[in-house]
Amino acid sequence: MARPERQCVGCGRRGPQDELVRLVLEPGSVPARVVLDMGKARRGRSAYLCRSQACLDRALRRKAFNRAFRVTVEVDRELVQAAVCETRTG
């Protein structure tokens, strides 16, 4: 069976879902806040990001998370950056 593919919101590269970091909105947060979903346990709209600092920087610069989630979101850059670095090395 083929692995599901997703598209990175930073660079646009398509790749297997398990090679990308999944980001979702924190339930009930006002303003909407992007959080990591490593276990893919949360349902609903999500955005995927490559495990690279360049993709994170580009997504933030282009406000790609706002488009992906269809709302104005608040991104905790340090949290996402740590997750990108952690998943890449570990």
Strands 46-49 and 21-25: antiparallel
- Model pLDDT for residues 6-51, shown as the tens digit of each residue: 999 999 999 998 889 999 998 888 889 998 887 777 788 899 999 8
**Distances from the Cα of 20 to the Cαs of 4, 29, 30, in angstroms?**
11, 24, 26
Residue ranges per structural domain of the chain: 5-89
Indicate the residue type of 20: L
- Model pLDDT for residues 54-69, shown as the tens digit of each residue: 999 999 999 999 999 9
- Classify domain 5-89 at the CATH class level: alpha beta
Asked whether residue 90 carries a pLDDT value surpassing 70, the answer given is no
| pTM tops 0.85, yes or no | no
